[in-house]
Amino acid sequence: MQKIQGYRFGSVTIEGETYQSDVIIYPDEVDSSWWRKEGHRLAVEDLRDALGAKPEILIVGKGAYACMSVPPETEEHIKSLGIRLVAANTKEACDAHNKLSETSRVVTCLHLTC
């Protein structure tokens, strides 16, 4: 489990390492090269690797002010795979990650700014 130690606008610290770009947190690694086709609209294709990791729960941090949207078709696709979706502002997503990853296989995608 990768623990998040802190989040502030534009920055997240995971297991002692600070990242300043959007990340995907897997149970055993962090991908700091996550980028979306449309920056503030989360598409299914943006989640290909995250969903391929077979999480029980997918957590999406939609930004400090929750500016990134999760369209209904993306939500439906995630749920059709039997994956629970938790989408919230990034601070709440970090809190959910730390709590839920203690008992479940979690993949967390964090948009760090807006």
**Span 10-22, average pLDDT:** 98
pLDDT (0 to 100) of residue 39: 83
| pLDDT tens digits, 48-99 | 999 999 999 999 999 999 999 999 999 999 999 999 999 999 999 999 999 9
Residue 54 CB neighbour total at 10 angstroms: 11
| pLDDT tens digits, 20-62 | 999 999 999 999 999 999 989 999 999 999 999 999 999 999 9
pLDDT band, residue 1 (cuts 50/70/90): confident
3-state DSSP helix/strand/coil % of the chain, to nearest 5: 25, 30, 45
Dist CA 1 CA 9 (whole Å): 23
pLDDT (0 to 100) of residue 6: 98
Q: Which CATH superfamily is domain 4-110 in?
A: MTH938-like (3.40.1230.10)
Place of tokens 């919230």: 88
Domain boundaries, the chain: 4-110
On whether the CB atoms of residues 40 and 68 are closer than 8 A, the answer is yes
- How many angstroms separate the Cα of 66 from the Cα of each of 49, 56, 63, 74, 103? 22, 23, 5, 16, 26
